[in-house]
Amino acid sequence: MRGFFEAHIVNNQNINSNNLLSLKKRVAVITGGAAGIGLATTKLLAEMGATIALLDVNESRGHEAIAEIKQLGGQAKFYLCDVTNAAKCKKTVEAIIRDFEKIDILFNNAGAIVRKNSVDISENEWDLVINVNLKSIYLLSNLIIPIMIKQGTGGSIVNTGSGWGLKGGSNAVAYCAAKGGVVNMTRAMAIDHGKHDIRVNCVCPGDTDTGLLRGEAVQLKQDMGEFMKEAADRPLNRVGLPLDIAHTVLYLVSDLSSWVTGTTIVVDGGGLA
């Protein structure tokens, strides 16, 4: 028995972690990929060898992102897609399959937030936040999981949650509801599709320096400097950077996390602690 464990350790030492992180020959679909966390993740996964299908509603930023990736030697294509619309999602996924023939990775990252409580928020605002943050995950997963199953090679799905998917927050009732749904939806998806070797995980960022975060200060009519200072009030004493989150997504979609599914990883500088 001792010989078995010694051999196992020796064999593991021969494993190159760079190979485990490599995404060569994999096609990654990323929603909300034209800015913030999505853009940082798009660039990082492309750097690790993935072919990128970038989905966003911002056409100009989307094309700019693709140009940057290609300039760095990566392969990518932009798809203008409203991820809350079933017909448009279907058309987009069909186009991705025509272009790249397969899908190995899905990063459900599109997001929206309205900073209002349950009395002040309108029905349209509620629907917007729920649809962008939660319904979009259903729509894309509903289309892409059957493709992954048919391919027979497994796959990895990462859903973007939030610290506010694990605890409550003020004046963000729809966002908290949506992100709480994302966290538990991730668990359910992992249970359903583990038998297909499809791993499903959730990354929960804390306050990260993106346009979405800075837009909250505008919605709340708060001074930007004070708002960002308050956001940095956490054990590591800073707000997150989009690349902080992208690094975790890379871990979750790579072979480095081959036995990780149904879990939620909080990346927030210790904020929830």
Condensed to tens digits (0 to 9), the pLDDT of residues 203-247 reads 999 999 999 999 999 999 999 999 999 999 999 999 999 999 999
pTM, entire model? 0.93
CATH for the stretch 22-205+240-265 = 3.40.50.720
Phi and psi, residue 125, nearest 5° = -65, -40
Mean pLDDT, to the nearest integer, of 26-33?
98
Helix (H, G, I), strand (E, B) or coil at 152: coil
Helix residue ranges per DSSP H, 156-241: 173-193, 211-220, 224-231
Active-site residue flag, 251: no
- Does the pLDDT at position 3 exceed 50? no
Of residues 198 and 7, which shows the higher confidence score? 198
Q: What confidence tens digit (pLDDT) does each residue in 98-119 have?
A: 999 999 999 999 999 999 999 9
- Does the pLDDT at position 60 exceed 70? yes
Of residues 111 and 6, which shows the higher confidence score? 111
Which pLDDT value is given to residue 70?
Answer: 95
